[in-house]
Amino acid sequence: MTRPTGIRGILLDIEGTTTPITFVYDVLFPFAAQRLEACCARADDDPRTAEAVARLRDEYDADSDESLPPFGDGSPYAQHLMRVDRKSTGLKSLQGIIWEEGYADGSLRAVVFDDVPGALVAWRDAGLRLRIFSSGSVLAQKLLFGHTEVGDLTSLFEGYHDTTTGPKKVAESYREIACAFELEPGEVLFLSDVVAELDAAAETGMRTGLLRRPGNPPCEPGRHTTHADFRELLV
């Protein structure tokens, strides 16, 4: 299987695409959950944390869920959002701050699939431009690729996008990213393990590929070409 013709840029998801789902759910999320209370408690002394908690408060005030816990210092609501797996921008900001500390002190080391580093280098050397689109914050994305078991991969990417660009299942988000690439949508290949995200990208004219990585939940690919790994897209 080869890469579609006419591709000049590749947009990548992270969870289930470059990185095992198990690393996200079994390592990153528990690490953040254990430290949310301490992180929120220092908001008065840390402007970045204060900004994240303020954004979380705005989300709380707009949340219509009648089963919400008291907001408190933000950590009870953040824990609730983690339990229901909500793609909250405020929560993602707090998680990024916590993970930054973990990567800095060596408590965390990111995992990518074995084929990923070589594929990224091969695509870059072939003149393809690379960007990331993940529900995790841009900070969290840079930390992950900057602290992998095989070294720092951040120089291989020209840009990162999170939920501040837009929801991952909405076509307009992909139009915005194509503009950031300064490419036509049809010149961009988006790779993800989530069919609804691929559907949104395809609506703009982007080319798409569904990753069937180990540990990814089974799904019907619909109109999207499936790939076992990135090696299938090197030529």
Q: What is the pLDDT of residues 19-58, one digit of tens each?
A: 999 999 999 999 999 999 999 999 999 999 999 999 999 9
Angle between helices 171-181 and 195-203 (to 10 degrees): 60
What is the pTM assigned to this prediction? Answer: 0.90
Model pLDDT for residues 9-24, shown as the tens digit of each residue = 999 999 999 999 999 9
- pLDDT confidence bin for 67, thresholds 50/70/90: confident
Cβ–Cβ < 8 Å for 12, 133: yes
Please compute the mean of the pLDDT values over residues 69-98 and round it to a whole number: 94
Alpha-carbon distance of 34 to 122, in angstroms, equals: 38
Residue 230 above 80 pLDDT?
A: yes
Over the range 11-31, which residues count as b (16 or more CB within 10 Å of their CB) and which as e? bbbbbbbbbbbebbeebbeeb
The amino acid sitting at 84 is: V
Residue 208 above 80 pLDDT?
A: yes
Q: Which helix (H) or strand (E) holds 58?
A: helix 47-62
The fold of the 24-104 domain, in CATH, is: 1.10.720
CATH code assigned to 9-19+110-233 = 3.40.50.1000
For the chain, what are the domain ranges? 9-19+110-233, 24-104
Strands 129-133, 159-161: pairing is: parallel
